[in-house]
Amino acid sequence: MIVEVDGEPLAVLRLAPSRPDILPKLQPAEEGLLFELLGSSELPLPEALIIDRDGSRLGCPGLLMTYLDGINTLTWERMRERCGRASADDAFATIVRMHELPVPVGWPQSSEGDTHHARELAGVQRLCDESGADGPPELRPALMRLVASPPPPTGPSCIVHGDFRPANLMGARDRVTGILDWEMATTGDPLCDFGVSTMREWGVWFTDEELLGKYGDARGIECSLVSLRWWRALGYAKVVAFLAVRLADGWVGPPLGPWVEGLVRAVGEWET
């Protein structure tokens, strides 16, 4: 919720969701702590104004943070159109900077980067089990194939945003002016972020080959196309499992079918 004074946006209020046990790992108050941990970095982040873990200040556990100027879009093409042609390039430079930051003490799973893929799989499998007979039949076989062939790690473990896509970025004048929605943040494989950012629904940022070449050159590490596609397939599995549980709870959201189709396509691309 945007907090306005005299019609001007000044802050954003984020309150704890009704189902905190679904995929997002961190509550809004915990996100505020991450902003504090990264306060000395050059990343374009909100400032945490009130971090309320128990609801004593905001009436409900949550976070009051500064409002960041910019435009929010759903696809990379729209980001280029509305925020400047170079904004997508700046998003790439921003994620490289984020991945190169030292992991601060207190960051979620800061000492468990090598278990990243297993933790992500476990979360999706839990939701798959919860959805039960209401879940799409394609989900469990896809998960079994992903479990059977985990990707090798890509370079050293780093800060992972977990949901890096245009809808979670603010942009203006050819720059990224804000990185939002850190509830999926952890440490682990940087290709997790690229698996999410290259899902077809967000449009074309760069081709897979361009992205891996640029990233490998920027960080001096080897990047596997197979690993990128594994993480993208897992990204689709997360969305399908999340939607299946929410829809079974009676939540009105996007239709599940297109995301199931995306999962099947992504697994096929990975296995090719």
Label residue 224 exposed, middle or buried (CB < 10 Å: 0-12, 13-18, 19+): middle
Q: Is the pLDDT of residue 82 over 90?
A: yes
Q: How confident is the model at residue 24 (pLDDT cuts 50, 70, 90)?
A: low
Considering Cα of 193, then 196, then 199, then 205, what sign does the dihedral take?
negative
**C-beta separation of 222 from 154 below 8 A:** yes
111-163, pLDDT tens digit by residue?
898 999 999 999 999 999 988 877 899 999 999 999 999 999 999 999 999 99
> Which residue's entry shows tokens 């972020």?
193
Predicted local distance difference test score (pLDDT) of residue 37 = 97
C-alpha to C-alpha distances, 244 to 22, 24, 239, 241, 251, nearest whole angstrom: 11, 15, 8, 5, 10
26-35, pLDDT tens digit by residue?
999 999 999 9
Quote the tokens at residue 222.
């080897």
Mapped onto helix, strand or coil, the DSSP state of residue 172 is: strand
Average pLDDT over residues 74-84: 98
Quote the tokens at residue 241.
């499992």
Q: CA 117 to CA 227: how far, in whole Å? A: 11
On whether the pTM is more than 0.85, the answer is yes
Quote the tokens at residue 145.
């194939």
**C-beta separation of 241 from 131 below 8 A:** yes
Q: List CB contacts of 34: < 8 A, sequence separation 6 or more.
A: 26, 107, 108, 182, 185
Q: Is the pLDDT of residue 23 over 70?
A: no
Q: Is the pLDDT of residue 5 over 90?
A: no
> Which residue's entry shows tokens 């976070």?
63
Quote the tokens at residue 182.
């850190």
Stated as kind and residue range, the H or E segment containing 244 is helix 225-248
Range of the domain at 53: 2-271
How many structural domains are present in the chain?
A: 1
Predicted local distance difference test score (pLDDT) of residue 20 = 65
Question: Residue 82 maps to which CATH number?
Answer: 3.90.1200.10
Q: Residue 180, Cβ neighbours under 10 Å: how many?
A: 21
